Amino acid sequence: MSDTPVGGYVFASGPIELNEGRPRQKLTVRNTGDRPRRLSATFYAEWVLGAVRDNAPLQVVCERDAEAGAVLARSAWAGSFAGQFAFAAVGPRSHTATADRTEFLGRNGSPSNPAALGRAGLSGRTGPALDPCAALMTPITLAPGQTEEVVFVLGQADTPERVRQLAATYTAPGRARQALAEVQALWDRVLGAVQVKTPDAALDVMMNRWLPYQILACRVWGRSAFYQSGGAYGFRDQLQDVMALVTSAPDEARAQILRSAARQFEEGDVQHWWHPPAGAGVRTRITDDLMFLPLAVHHYVTATGDAALLDERVSFLKSPVLRPEQEEDYNLPAVSEQVGTIYEHCVRALEQGYRLGAHGLPLMGTGDWNDGMNKVGAHGKGESVWNGWFFVTVLKAFADLADQIGDTSRAAWCRERAEALRAALEEHAWDGGWYRRAYFDDGTPLGSAQNDECQIDALPRPGR
């Protein structure tokens, strides 16, 4: 909410997350003078509807919906989302609009000084072949002492009918206040579940509010961070993320575990990343991904006591295995007829992941959490020291989970392999002053005192 002095134009712009009908900017204007005042409030947003802003003029088409008081945008190039409508609305208020960015900003113009704010209204221009935007300008007339609210909404929906319903609901000032209170209550509940207090106030802010917010809003819901703005799930990425939510948002952690398990192939390996809703993604030879499933499951069950998760049944994926010359394959796998419990998915991951090289260490494949080491073991013989310590940690944790449900044979299997890995790591990975990082396909060590580079890797050794 903003309390804005009357005078001139009120101009709101900036990046806003798209969720169905919810993101909004609410402007409160009060005339504190002794004469009537007339002014305008203007909303402006640039459409992307994809991962790259520069592609929008070729792909995004805009139209007006007078009943919704909205500018609608859609992209026929958006794959599974091609039938979706993004919209910006100001509800039933009198207003003018344009979807033409050039009209709004002016030639060589900028959002800091748009040309359209020097005019009384916008042209209403929409259609294809525009540099697309959504600009809405609404007049406000205020008597002395009068206060008025204007609500702008940015959202998405499946149909124009749903756009109208959402616009009518959320541009009503009373409903906007209620929705804001609901959102604030949700975040207070999630972000207030765990609180830490340290001598560093900045660290407290990061730990208590900012980082948990980023995990849920950006990593899990938005899936758009840094240079990765494609909206994909990463198998290891989001499982790592939701491990931090088992206390504050356990339902989100549980949902991600189920979602990830459904991206596991019949053979036990997994999609490194995939795009919802269709599920197209990449199958790789990266070796650590699949082990994050049993790790996250153990962490969730231990923290929440929700052992019923282990009995949830989830399908596997079915796709041709990688050919010997393939490092990865991007495709849309089929859903397999095979279905397993979450516990069985974890077991299949452990059995597939426990593949060892000449030194008794786990194979590196084309990455072991550090995707940049994709050439170390690309020919199938390189070994990872980091994977060794990671697998020791996962195997020990899963052994405890197996004991909990009475699967003593699986618990013994895990502990035997964890001990064998530990012994191999001590014998073949210790370099005299630190642990090596890996072995190349030809057996050359990486991270040894004999090497000029990577003598001590930044990744820590867990479990000791």
Count CB neighbours of 338 within 10 A.
13
Radius of gyration of the chain (CA): 27
Q: Please list the residues that pair with 339 across neighbouring strands.
A: 315
Half-sphere exposure at residue 77, Cβ-oriented, CA atoms within 13 angstroms: 12
Q: What is the 8-class DSSP label of residue 195?
A: -
Query: Do 295 and 397 form a contact (C-beta atoms < 8 A)?
Result: yes
Count CB neighbours of 386 within 10 A.
25
CA quadruple 338, 343, 349, 352: dihedral, nearest 10: -70
> What tokens does 128 get?
């294809």
Q: Please list the residues that pair with 273 across neighbouring strands.
A: 234, 282
Q: What is the 8-class DSSP label of residue 437?
A: -
Tens of pLDDT, residue by residue, the chain (464 residues): 233 333 333 333 333 233 333 455 888 899 999 999 999 999 999 999 987 889 999 999 999 998 899 999 999 888 888 889 999 999 788 999 999 999 999 998 899 999 999 988 999 999 999 999 999 999 999 999 999 989 999 999 999 999 999 999 998 878 888 988 999 999 999 999 999 999 999 999 999 999 999 999 999 998 876 666 778 999 999 999 999 999 999 999 999 999 999 999 999 999 999 999 999 999 999 999 999 999 999 999 999 999 999 999 999 999 999 999 999 999 999 999 999 999 999 999 999 999 999 999 999 999 999 998 999 999 999 999 999 999 999 999 999 999 999 999 999 999 999 999 999 999 999 999 899 999 999 999 999 998 888 887 655 544 43
Q: Which residue in this structure is represented by tokens 């796998």?
A: 333
351: enclosing H helix or E strand = helix 342-353
Distance of alpha carbon 242 from alpha carbon 212, whole angstroms: 10
Query: Do 57 and 32 form a contact (C-beta atoms < 8 A)?
Result: no
The 10 Å CB-count burial string (b at 16+, else e) for 60-84 is bbbbbbeebbbbbbbbeeeeebeeb
Cα torsion 384, 413, 310, 249: sign: negative
Provide CB contacts within 8 A for 65, sequence distance 6+: 71, 72, 87, 160, 163, 164
Provide CB contacts within 8 A for 347, sequence distance 6+: 410
Which domains can be identified in the chain, with CATH numbers?
Answer: 2-189 (2.70.98.40), 203-446 (1.50.10.10)
CA quadruple 276, 282, 286, 291: dihedral, nearest 10: 30
> Of 259, 267, 239, which is closest to residue 348 (Cα–Cα)?
267
> What tokens does 92 get?
């039933």
117: left (phi over 0), alpha (psi -120 to 50) or beta: alpha
> Of 190, 312, 191, 336, which is closest to residue 258 (Cα–Cα)?
312
How far, CA to CA in Å, does 401 sit from each of 415, 419, 459?
A: 12, 17, 26
